[in-house]
Amino acid sequence: MNSFAAHFESILRERSKNLTALAKKAGISRPSLYDLINGKNLPRTITLENLIAALDLSEKSAQILRDEHRSERLRTTRKEQEKLHKEKKSFLSQVSEALLRKGHEISLPKDTTGPDLVLRSGSLRIPLLVTPAITDHPSTLGHLLAAMHNLSASRGYACVPKLLPADRAHLTLYAKHGVKILTQKNLLREIN
Protein backbone atom coordinates (compact mmCIF):
# COMPACT_ATOMS: atom_id res chain seq x y z
CA MET A 1 0.00 0.00 0.00
CA ASN A 2 1.36 3.43 -0.90
CA SER A 3 1.38 6.48 1.39
CA PHE A 4 -1.54 8.11 -0.42
CA ALA A 5 -3.70 5.00 -0.04
CA ALA A 6 -2.81 4.65 3.64
CA HIS A 7 -3.71 8.27 4.34
CA PHE A 8 -6.88 8.07 2.25
CA GLU A 9 -7.96 4.91 4.08
CA SER A 10 -7.40 6.57 7.47
CA ILE A 11 -9.59 9.51 6.39
CA LEU A 12 -12.32 7.10 5.34
CA ARG A 13 -12.12 5.25 8.68
CA GLU A 14 -12.49 8.57 10.56
CA ARG A 15 -15.39 9.70 8.46
CA SER A 16 -17.04 6.23 8.41
CA LYS A 17 -18.86 7.09 5.18
CA ASN A 18 -20.87 4.62 3.18
CA LEU A 19 -18.40 3.74 0.40
CA THR A 20 -21.11 3.19 -2.20
CA ALA A 21 -22.59 6.63 -1.49
CA LEU A 22 -19.13 8.20 -1.48
CA ALA A 23 -18.22 6.64 -4.84
CA LYS A 24 -21.50 7.85 -6.34
CA LYS A 25 -21.05 11.38 -4.94
CA ALA A 26 -17.45 11.52 -6.26
CA GLY A 27 -18.52 10.25 -9.68
CA ILE A 28 -16.48 7.00 -9.69
CA SER A 29 -17.39 3.35 -9.52
CA ARG A 30 -17.24 1.42 -6.26
CA PRO A 31 -14.51 -0.93 -7.58
CA SER A 32 -12.45 2.12 -8.58
CA LEU A 33 -12.82 3.48 -5.06
CA TYR A 34 -11.62 0.17 -3.63
CA ASP A 35 -8.62 0.24 -5.99
CA LEU A 36 -7.71 3.68 -4.59
CA ILE A 37 -8.09 2.48 -1.00
CA ASN A 38 -5.94 -0.60 -1.66
CA GLY A 39 -3.25 1.40 -3.47
CA LYS A 40 -3.71 -0.32 -6.83
CA ASN A 41 -4.32 2.99 -8.59
CA LEU A 42 -3.82 6.69 -8.02
CA PRO A 43 -6.71 9.00 -8.81
CA ARG A 44 -6.48 11.60 -11.51
CA THR A 45 -6.38 15.14 -10.15
CA ILE A 46 -10.03 15.82 -10.99
CA THR A 47 -11.08 12.58 -9.26
CA LEU A 48 -9.03 13.53 -6.21
CA GLU A 49 -10.78 16.91 -6.06
CA ASN A 50 -14.18 15.20 -6.41
CA LEU A 51 -13.30 12.87 -3.50
CA ILE A 52 -12.17 15.81 -1.36
CA ALA A 53 -15.47 17.58 -2.07
CA ALA A 54 -17.50 14.41 -1.43
CA LEU A 55 -15.75 13.88 1.91
CA ASP A 56 -16.16 17.58 2.80
CA LEU A 57 -12.56 17.77 4.06
CA SER A 58 -11.12 20.81 5.80
CA GLU A 59 -8.59 22.77 3.75
CA LYS A 60 -5.74 21.45 5.90
CA SER A 61 -6.81 17.80 5.50
CA ALA A 62 -7.40 18.32 1.79
CA GLN A 63 -3.92 19.83 1.34
CA ILE A 64 -2.26 16.94 3.16
CA LEU A 65 -4.10 14.48 0.91
CA ARG A 66 -3.07 16.48 -2.19
CA ASP A 67 0.57 16.48 -1.01
CA GLU A 68 0.48 12.70 -0.47
CA HIS A 69 -1.04 12.30 -3.93
CA ARG A 70 1.66 14.47 -5.51
CA SER A 71 4.44 12.61 -3.66
CA GLU A 72 3.11 9.26 -4.83
CA ARG A 73 2.81 10.50 -8.43
CA LEU A 74 6.41 11.75 -8.28
CA ARG A 75 7.57 8.34 -7.07
CA THR A 76 5.64 6.26 -9.59
CA THR A 77 5.14 8.20 -12.82
CA ARG A 78 8.00 8.49 -15.31
CA LYS A 79 6.83 11.86 -16.60
CA GLU A 80 6.66 13.21 -13.05
CA GLN A 81 10.08 11.72 -12.23
CA GLU A 82 11.63 13.47 -15.24
CA LYS A 83 10.00 16.74 -14.20
CA LEU A 84 11.25 16.27 -10.62
CA HIS A 85 14.77 15.53 -11.91
CA LYS A 86 14.83 18.81 -13.89
CA GLU A 87 13.50 20.75 -10.90
CA LYS A 88 16.10 19.08 -8.65
CA LYS A 89 18.95 19.98 -10.99
CA SER A 90 17.84 23.62 -11.09
CA PHE A 91 17.27 23.83 -7.32
CA LEU A 92 20.61 22.13 -6.57
CA SER A 93 22.38 24.69 -8.75
CA GLN A 94 20.54 27.55 -7.01
CA VAL A 95 21.40 26.26 -3.50
CA SER A 96 25.04 25.59 -4.45
CA GLU A 97 25.46 29.11 -5.83
CA ALA A 98 23.87 30.64 -2.71
CA LEU A 99 26.18 28.64 -0.42
CA LEU A 100 29.26 29.60 -2.41
CA ARG A 101 28.23 33.29 -2.44
CA LYS A 102 28.02 33.19 1.36
CA GLY A 103 31.56 31.79 1.49
CA HIS A 104 30.73 28.21 2.46
CA GLU A 105 32.86 25.32 1.28
CA ILE A 106 30.94 22.55 -0.46
CA SER A 107 31.94 19.39 -2.23
CA LEU A 108 30.25 16.60 -4.12
CA PRO A 109 30.02 13.30 -2.25
CA LYS A 110 31.80 10.18 -3.47
CA ASP A 111 28.64 8.11 -3.09
CA THR A 112 25.94 8.89 -5.66
CA THR A 113 23.13 7.35 -3.58
CA GLY A 114 23.72 9.65 -0.61
CA PRO A 115 23.46 13.40 -0.19
CA ASP A 116 23.75 15.89 -3.04
CA LEU A 117 26.38 18.07 -1.35
CA VAL A 118 28.73 17.95 1.59
CA LEU A 119 29.14 21.16 3.58
CA ARG A 120 32.69 21.57 4.80
CA SER A 121 33.53 23.53 7.92
CA GLY A 122 37.08 22.91 9.15
CA SER A 123 37.25 19.19 9.86
CA LEU A 124 33.46 18.83 9.93
CA ARG A 125 31.62 17.32 6.96
CA ILE A 126 27.83 17.75 6.94
CA PRO A 127 25.61 15.94 4.39
CA LEU A 128 23.03 18.03 2.53
CA LEU A 129 20.24 16.59 0.44
CA VAL A 130 18.69 19.15 -1.95
CA THR A 131 15.31 18.29 -3.44
CA PRO A 132 12.28 20.14 -4.81
CA ALA A 133 10.02 17.67 -2.93
CA ILE A 134 10.59 14.87 -0.45
CA THR A 135 8.67 11.98 -1.95
CA ASP A 136 9.65 9.30 0.56
CA HIS A 137 10.48 10.49 4.08
CA PRO A 138 11.78 7.19 5.49
CA SER A 139 14.13 6.71 2.54
CA THR A 140 15.32 10.33 2.67
CA LEU A 141 16.05 10.08 6.38
CA GLY A 142 17.81 6.74 5.85
CA HIS A 143 20.08 8.18 3.12
CA LEU A 144 20.99 11.14 5.30
CA LEU A 145 21.68 8.95 8.35
CA ALA A 146 23.92 6.67 6.28
CA ALA A 147 25.79 9.70 4.95
CA MET A 148 26.12 11.13 8.46
CA HIS A 149 27.57 7.81 9.62
CA ASN A 150 30.03 7.68 6.71
CA LEU A 151 31.12 11.28 7.34
CA SER A 152 31.13 10.91 11.15
CA ALA A 153 28.71 13.84 11.25
CA SER A 154 26.33 14.60 14.09
CA ARG A 155 23.90 16.51 11.87
CA GLY A 156 22.52 16.61 8.35
CA TYR A 157 20.13 18.71 6.30
CA ALA A 158 17.38 18.23 3.74
CA CYS A 159 16.79 21.45 1.79
CA VAL A 160 13.43 22.04 0.08
CA PRO A 161 12.00 25.15 -1.63
CA LYS A 162 8.93 25.13 0.63
CA LEU A 163 7.97 23.12 3.71
CA LEU A 164 4.83 21.14 2.94
CA PRO A 165 2.43 19.82 5.59
CA ALA A 166 3.78 16.30 4.98
CA ASP A 167 7.31 17.61 5.69
CA ARG A 168 6.17 19.35 8.86
CA ALA A 169 4.62 16.11 10.09
CA HIS A 170 8.08 14.47 9.99
CA LEU A 171 10.15 17.30 11.55
CA THR A 172 10.31 15.74 15.02
CA LEU A 173 11.38 12.35 13.64
CA TYR A 174 14.18 13.96 11.64
CA ALA A 175 15.24 16.15 14.59
CA LYS A 176 15.43 13.09 16.83
CA HIS A 177 18.26 11.86 14.58
CA GLY A 178 20.05 15.21 14.15
CA VAL A 179 18.57 16.01 10.74
CA LYS A 180 16.65 19.15 9.84
CA ILE A 181 14.34 19.85 6.90
CA LEU A 182 14.89 23.49 5.94
CA THR A 183 14.10 25.90 3.15
CA GLN A 184 17.06 27.46 1.34
CA LYS A 185 16.67 30.71 3.28
CA ASN A 186 16.58 28.92 6.64
CA LEU A 187 19.50 26.70 5.66
CA LEU A 188 21.66 29.75 5.01
CA ARG A 189 20.65 31.18 8.42
CA GLU A 190 21.28 27.86 10.15
CA ILE A 191 24.83 27.37 8.90
CA ASN A 192 26.05 30.95 9.42
Res. 61: pLDDT tops 80: yes
Query: What average pLDDT score do residues 81-94 get?
Result: 90
In the chain, the largest separation of any two C-alpha atoms, in whole Å, equals 63
Res. 90: pLDDT tops 90: yes
* CB-CB contact of 80 with 169 (8 Å): no
pLDDT at res. 1: 67
pLDDT at res. 108: 87
Res. 28: pLDDT tops 90: yes
Res. 49: pLDDT tops 90: yes
pLDDT band at residue 17 using 50, 70 and 90 as cut-offs: low
pLDDT band at residue 122 using 50, 70 and 90 as cut-offs: confident
Instruction: Report the mean per-residue pLDDT for the chain.
Output: 89
163-191 pLDDT per residue, tens:
988 888 889 999 999 999 999 999 999 98
* 181 phi/psi in degrees, rounded to 5: -100, 120
pLDDT at res. 80: 78
Instruction: 172-178: list long-range contacts, CB under 8 Å, 24+ apart.
Output: 173/137, 173/141, 174/141, 177/141, 177/145, 178/148, 178/154
The mean-pLDDT minimum among 90-99, 104-113, 165-174 falls in 104-113
User: What does the H/E/C string look like for the chain?
Assistant: CCHHHHHHHHHHHHHCCCHHHHHHHHCCCHHHHHHHHCCCCCCCHHHHHHHHHHHCCCHHHHHHHHHHHHHHHHHHCHHHHHHHHHHHHHHHHHHHHHHHHCCCEEECCCCCCCCCEEEEECCEEEEEEECCCCCCHHHHHHHHHHHHHHHCCCCEEEEECCCCHHHHHCHHHHHHCCEEEEEHHHHHHHCC
Res. 13: pLDDT tops 80: yes
Query: What average pLDDT score do residues 6-22 get?
Result: 85
pLDDT at res. 16: 65
Res. 31: pLDDT tops 70: yes
pLDDT at res. 18: 86
